[in-house]
Structure 1
Amino acid sequence: MKHTGLFSVILVVSLIANISLAAMLFTAGQGGDGRVQERLTALETSNADLQARLDQSNQSAEQAASQLAFYRSQLQTASTPLVTGGGAGAARFSGTASLQAPAVMQRAVLNQSGRFITREIITEGSMINISVEVTPGRGRVLVQTSPLMGEVFQDAANTAVAVAEARTGVNLSESDAIISIVADDQVPSVNGPSAGALMTLLLISVLQQRPVRPDVTVTGTIDENGQIGAIGGVVEKATAAKASGKTLLLLSRENSKLTQYRDETRDYYGFQVVSQVPYQVDTKQYIESNVGIQVEYVDTIDDLVRLAT
């Protein structure tokens, strides 16, 4: 009996020791799992960030190739020369003008919820610097963009020069127009013809020696007849212009209607369904009330010059 009791005590002590050891191992395992999970999360975050950078680099490379192809086609195709105007009555001009313009950019944001990481594309406004330099030359229209932004800016620049020549009566066949567009390093890419109206305004400012108001900014397309056309991202651009210290935003009259959305609740068999219903407001009134920057509509380049200089 004595041996049986001793054996029982040893068995109980061994059982308690095993339970304690199992608890210790479980706790250590839990801690290890936590560290492993933290490492996995860190790797997933790093991988998502690298993927975003790769996508951005690919986009820049595509636009660089696009711009290079455009310039090659301009050099090789006689029907689309880079030279504007004619030789008769040509003048050799020099001068510079610059202004900040609002643009819409898209950037990727990584959001983490527990173990899952999602990538969200955010659209917001940003300001880009646009400058025009006219120098004695051979009638070329040269565009420099940073970051690279695609050949659409070259098309808009060619139109801007043609409209500026027609508006001022100045022949630029013996001058070069150098247009520089510089965006912030955080802006991966900007595209679209919405800087056309501003480029035309700056060219006219140089050719007529009419300084542009520093508190004004412009966004809008330009066509060969000098008409100012609509653009997208109006509210985002207005917000960026306001944040940069601008007091007046000039928009195409084609942008006078802004689509907004309101929630509308309906009952369906005892269930409430919420849907967003579109409605239109006057862009000028909405931006002036909600963003806090003055807005004026323009129809033509003549309206633009009158209000901005």
Structure 2
Amino acid sequence: MPFVETAFSFPILGVTQPKAGFITGSWIGLMAHLTVTYKADGNGPEVIPDSNMMPVSVHSLWTAVAAASQAVGYDPRYLSVRLLIPTPMEGPSAGGIFAVAIAAALLGDSIRPDVCMSGTIEPDLEIRPVGGLIDKMGACRDLRKTTMIVPDGLDNSHLGFSGAERSIGVIQVYSLAEAYSAATGQALRPAP
């Protein structure tokens, strides 16, 4: 069960609420830093969110820890997860990429350098819809990413067109397994 501490950065996308008279908000893309370690005392999971994370984002991180652990069959009691982000963040939209990143740390995989993602993670391992995807696509472009992973199940027909205008490919996913495969190029599988 023990594993080597894993730390890496991955992109998260945000959008501000539109101001009166505007159709969209402004977007921000930034790099989050994740550290996943083995918790030898078995009193986990230990989840250490950054002070920049507001309550809904913290809840999303906890859900991501549970989902990633379940998906790879790792006992979360032996898990410590620390997430640092450089600016205040509120909302569940990064939950999917949180879960992908935690699973990648447990499996020893890397997130592809060309991807960004937006979508919530649910306890049933589904990736669910979020708002502001067109704005978040702008953040993805600003981060010089070329692929955006989004939840399936929305009317996303406009996203392919908007992505093409920005030279960003759009991959729609329904589950953590699909998101993991799209983000890492590897199958989601049991932890060694």
TM-score, normalized by the shorter chain, greater than 0.5: yes
Count the aligned residue pairs: 179
Q: Shift in Å at residue 245 of structure 1? A: 0.6
**In the alignment, which residue of structure 2 is the partner of 1:96?**
7
Structure-2 separation of matches of 1:97 and 1:172: 20
2:93 equivalent to 1:194: yes
Which structure's CA Rg is the greater one? 1
For the pair 1:141 / 2:16, whether they are aligned, the reply is: no
Deviation at 1:151, TM superposition (A): 1.0
Q: Per chain length, whose mean CA-contact separation is higher, i.e. which structure has more relative contact order (CA < 8 Å, sep 6+)?
A: 2
* AA in 1 matched with 2:134: V
1:83-232 residue pairs with structure 2 within 5 A?
A: 91=2, 94-106=5-17, 123-137=25-39, 138-139=43-44, 140-145=46-51, 148-183=52-87, 189-232=88-131
| 1:246 shift after superposition | 0.2
Q: Report how far residue 224 of structure 1 moved.
A: 0.3
Q: What TM-score does the superposition give when structure 1 sets the normalisation length?
A: 0.54
Q: How far apart are the structure 1 equivalents of 2:5 and 2:18?
A: 38
Contact 2:29 2:142 in 1 (8 A): no
Higher strand share: 1
Q: Deviations over 1:118-141 (max 9, x none)?
A: x98871111122222112334111
Could you list the runs of 5+ residues in structure 1 that have no partner in the other structure? 1-89, 109-118, 184-188, 258-281
Deviation of residue 172 (structure 1)? 2.9
Sequence identity percentage: 23
Give the TM-score of the pair, scaled to structure 2.
0.84
Structure 2 residue 158 is matched with structure 1 residue 283: yes
Structure 2 residues without counterparts, runs of 5 or longer: 185-192
Counterpart of 1:177, as a letter, is V
Q: Distance in 1 between matches of 2:12 and 2:102?
A: 15
Give a deviation string over 1:196-242, Cα, whole Å, max 9, x none.
00000100110000111011011100000110011111111101111
- Given candidates 295, 298, 303, the residue that maps to 2:173 is 298
Across the aligned residues of Structure 1 and Structure 2, the Cα RMSD in angstroms comes to 2.2
